A and B are shown apart, each in its own frame.
Chain A
Amino acid sequence: AALNDGLRSQVSAALKEGRVTPTELCQRCLALIKSTKFLNAYITVAEETALKQAEEAEERYKRGQPLGILDGIPIAVKDNFNTAGIETTCASNMLKGYISPYNATVVQKLLDQGAVLLGKTNLDEFAMGSGSTDGVFGPVRNPWSYSKQYKEKSVPKSHSEDEESNWVITGGSSGGSAAAVSSFTCFAALGSDTGGSTRNPAAHCGVVGLKPTYGLISRHGLIPLVNSMDVPGILTRCVDDAAVLLGSLAGHDPKDSTTIQDGFKPFELPNLTDVSKLSIGIPKEYHAPGLSSEILALWSKAADLFKNAGAKVVEVSLPHTPYSIVCYHVLCTAEVASNMARFDGLEYGHRSAMKDSTESMYAATRREGFNDVVRGRILSGNYFLLKQNYEKYFVKAQKVRRLIANDFVKVFRSGVDILLTPTTLSDAAPYTEFIQEDNRTRSAQDDILTQAANMAGLPAINVPTALSERGLPVGLQFIGRSFQEKQLLTVAKWFEKQVQFPVIQLEEVKRHDTDVFQHQKSASFS
């Protein structure tokens, strides 16, 4: 096996050769979850079932019959995916105590491959937010807040203040999943991505975050936010691992009629050495207001990297980019208004004690169950869907959506293969600073670079690129053509190899434990 084999292949080999067992892996991850509890990345840890799954995997390895690369691999799942027998809360009071009666298709697929489900990760309530700060179980802390790299760069105001007030957010809404992967408590995690919810926390936590093409991976069992944009997201520590996960999750699902029927063939990523045939597009509108000069410089450096390696790098224009957030705002709230209607207290979830009438029970249940962000979006959505507003707002937004999607079509038709953009406007903000602005404002600001890919249904991936001045991760985003994940990931893998993003140095993680977890040298790009 070569040095640049994905972590997955290294672990897979170790498992096959018996150098490590699935139960050892599972126990190490569970112990790490306990020792990193302060991150608040997990809402539910399914310790018993995980150990049982690990034991079953171990039996299979002993017989020399593992189910595949994922057999025995500990993974975590965002708490908006249904997991049979395990509480699924969406970080909301509305679903506290709700035990899913079934597995989401993606969860089932992972379990069928022998993956070990460690637990459910924390998020913004109902995946609405860009900080993973607005859930009922509290905010998720970015593991990098506790890294040597960050601590070295931060000036403690006073001894008592330092760690407690300095910690930075993970980004969101899949912050728990990103933090889990970043802190080595699992090898991969599922997130969801509607406006950037997988890529944003991936960028802030220094992990790979893949948003697949809409229609490639089943949404059955993913509690929906915006049916026309939601996709399950994949978070891993390297691009190869993301390809492995994609291979086991993609494909038509009869239970999700929005999955395409074309057969999907899992692929291994080639080691690209010649990029001279590639055309990289740099969309000028992604030089958005508020983009930090640091990230701008990194973006530019990345473009040069491709140019110097022989690729064609061109500036392109996606003129409707500035309207994608407004468009999203209308379409999202409208679909949310519809999707949240199912929560009435009758069949599942929270139920108010109010019993004067059905309607008042519904109203009280929803008042008690939803936080302000969710309720605000429901109300806005209903406003845009009113008969007198339908054409003016909802249909108008659908038309603008087409214009946004067409912008991408035009650019890809002109010969560009992949677009290169920043993922976030800056590195992770300290929590105390982040909560100064309300959720909607923050989401509008933070989603600006990721949202359009959801509008157009295109695949996009965050690749950790370098550390910022503050010692925090910064990632760059690649956006590809519909259903061309292989090309997208191949380019991402090439880039990942060039930048050699440093491994997080977490004091909590014992040195000898990371042998199995490390896979990249620490020379850095910046």
Chain B
Amino acid sequence: QKVSVEVLEHLEHLALVDFRDAEGVERLQKAIQFADQLHEVNTDGVEPMDSVLEDRWCLYLREDNVTEGNCTKELLENAREKVEEYFVAPPGNIPLPKLEERETFLEGS
């Protein structure tokens, strides 16, 4: 059962990572096939496990006090493009080109 082109496109859009070539798609197919083995296990009545520490519940809320911060300079240091105290991004709200167009589109990178 092959993964449909729609799903492939959807995945690339969600992941913002592309399959690059047929090998990438093949890799996904194999990964799904591998994961299908899970269905051999009977999990009736079994609760999903989020954390091995569930019995020791350590996720807690702390007091809402400011304990650190004021490190704008450090935070900006590793950014490639910035203006004053802003990270600079290219224009947004522009959808990614469709799969067929994207091959040539990303060829530059």
Does B associate with A? Answer: yes
Task: Using A346-B89, A396-B43 as known contacts, say yes or no to A456 and B17 having CB atoms under 8 A apart.
Answer: no
- Asked whether A359 is an interface residue with its Cβ less than 8 Å from the other chain, the reply is yes
- Asked whether B66 is an interface residue with its Cβ less than 8 Å from the other chain, the reply is no
- Asked whether A351 is an interface residue with its Cβ less than 8 Å from the other chain, the reply is yes
Counting chain A CB atoms within 10 Å of each CB, which of B74, B80, B81 scores highest?
B80
Docked-complex contact A347 and B87, CB < 8 angstroms: yes
- Asked whether A382 is an interface residue with its Cβ less than 8 Å from the other chain, the reply is yes
Which of A98, A354, A399 makes the CB contact (< 8 A) with B108? A354
A360: nearest chain-B partner, CB-CB = B96
List residues of chain B with CB within 8 A of the CB of A351.
Answer: 80-81
Task: Render B13-53 as a binary contact track against A, CB cut-off 8 A, 1 for contact.
Answer: 01111111000100110111011011111010011111111
Docked-complex contact B108 and A398, CB < 8 angstroms: no
Instruction: Give the A-B contact count at a CB cut-off of 8 A.
Output: 197
List residues of chain A with CB within 8 A of the CB of B12.
Answer: 363, 379
Task: Render A336-374 as a binary contact track against B, CB cut-off 8 A, 1 for contact.
Answer: 010000001111110111111111111110111010100
List residues of chain A with CB within 8 A of the CB of B106.
Answer: 354, 360, 363-364, 367
- Asked whether A260 is an interface residue with its Cβ less than 8 Å from the other chain, the reply is yes
- Asked whether B56 is an interface residue with its Cβ less than 8 Å from the other chain, the reply is yes
List residues of chain A with CB within 8 A of the CB of B48.
Answer: 395, 398-399, 401-402
Interface of B is mostly: loop
Counting chain B CB atoms within 10 Å of each CB, which of A214, A359, A393 scores highest?
A359
Task: Using A357-B90, A396-B43 as known contacts, say yes or no to A383 and B53 having CB atoms under 8 A apart.
Answer: no
Which of B3, B37, B46 makes the CB contact (< 8 A) with A323? B37
The count of residues in chain B whose C-beta lies closer than 8 Å to any C-beta of chain A is 60
Docked-complex contact A370 and B34, CB < 8 angstroms: no
List residues of chain A with CB within 8 A of the CB of B7.
Answer: 383, 386
Docked-complex contact A347 and B28, CB < 8 angstroms: no
- Asked whether A123 is an interface residue with its Cβ less than 8 Å from the other chain, the reply is no
Q: Which of B38-82 contact A (CB under 8 A)?
A: 38-41, 43, 46-53, 56, 58-60, 62, 71, 74-75, 77-81
- Asked whether A435 is an interface residue with its Cβ less than 8 Å from the other chain, the reply is no
A394 to chain B, nearest CB (A): 8
List residues of chain A with CB within 8 A of the CB of B53.
Answer: 214-215, 258, 260, 457
Interface of A is mostly: helix
B74 to chain A, nearest CB (A): 4
- Asked whether A170 is an interface residue with its Cβ less than 8 Å from the other chain, the reply is no
How far is B21's CA from A375's CA once the two chains are assembled, in angstroms? Answer: 12
Docked-complex contact B58 and A260, CB < 8 angstroms: yes
How far is B35's CA from A354's CA once the two chains are assembled, in angstroms? Answer: 35
Task: Render A148-162 as a binary contact track against B, CB cut-off 8 A, 1 for contact.
Answer: 000000000000000
Task: Using A215-B58, A363-B18, A405-B49 as known contacts, say yes or no to A358 and B11 having CB atoms under 8 A apart.
Answer: no
Docked-complex contact A376 and B94, CB < 8 angstroms: no
Docked-complex contact B75 and A368, CB < 8 angstroms: no
List residues of chain B with CB within 8 A of the CB of A353.
Answer: 109
List residues of chain B with CB within 8 A of the CB of A254.
Answer: 62
How far is B54's CA from A457's CA once the two chains are assembled, in angstroms? Answer: 11
B26 to chain A, nearest CB (A): 10
A391: nearest chain-B partner, CB-CB = B48
Which of B31, B39, B46, B49 makes the CB contact (< 8 A) with A380? B31
- Asked whether A444 is an interface residue with its Cβ less than 8 Å from the other chain, the reply is yes
How far is B28's CA from A323's CA once the two chains are assembled, in angstroms? Answer: 19
Docked-complex contact B51 and A258, CB < 8 angstroms: yes
Docked-complex contact A456 and B52, CB < 8 angstroms: yes
Task: Pick the interface stretch among A107-115, A324-332, A486-494.
Answer: A324-332
Q: Which of A76-133 contact B (CB under 8 A)?
A: 98-99, 101-102
Task: Using A378-B15, A402-B46 as known contacts, say yes or no to A333 and B92 having CB atoms under 8 A apart.
Answer: no
How far is B16's CA from A344's CA once the two chains are assembled, in angstroms? Answer: 9
B65 to chain A, nearest CB (A): 12
How far is B29's CA from A383's CA once the two chains are assembled, in angstroms? Answer: 10
How far is B51's CA from A146's CA once the two chains are assembled, in angstroms? Answer: 42
A38 to chain B, nearest CB (A): 32
B18 to chain A, nearest CB (A): 6
Task: Using A259-B58, A399-B49 as known contacts, say yes or no to A367 and B38 having CB atoms under 8 A apart.
Answer: no
List residues of chain A with CB within 8 A of the CB of B75.
Answer: 101, 347
Task: Using A376-B28, A383-B11, A383-B28 as known contacts, say yes or no to A359 and B74 having CB atoms under 8 A apart.
Answer: no
Q: Which of A430-464 contact B (CB under 8 A)?
A: 438, 440, 444, 455-457
How far is B80's CA from A249's CA once the two chains are assembled, in angstroms? Answer: 34
Docked-complex contact B94 and A356, CB < 8 angstroms: yes
A359 to chain B, nearest CB (A): 5
Known: A370-B17, A379-B12. 6 other contacts (CB 8 A): A260-B58, A261-B60, A346-B79, A375-B17, A380-B35, A383-B7
Using a CB–CB cutoff of 8 Å, the interface residues on chain A facing chain B are: 98-99, 101-102, 214-215, 228, 254, 257-261, 320, 323, 326-327, 329-330, 333, 337, 344-349, 351-364, 366-368, 370, 372, 375-376, 378-384, 386, 392-393, 395-403, 405, 438, 440, 444, 455-457, 482
* A-B complex: 3 closest residue pairs judged by Cβ atoms: A457-B52, A398-B48, A357-B94
Using a CB–CB cutoff of 8 Å, the interface residues on chain B facing chain A are: 3, 7, 10-12, 14-20, 24, 27-28, 30-32, 34-35, 37-41, 43, 46-53, 56, 58-60, 62, 71, 74-75, 77-81, 87, 89-92, 94-97, 105-106, 108-109
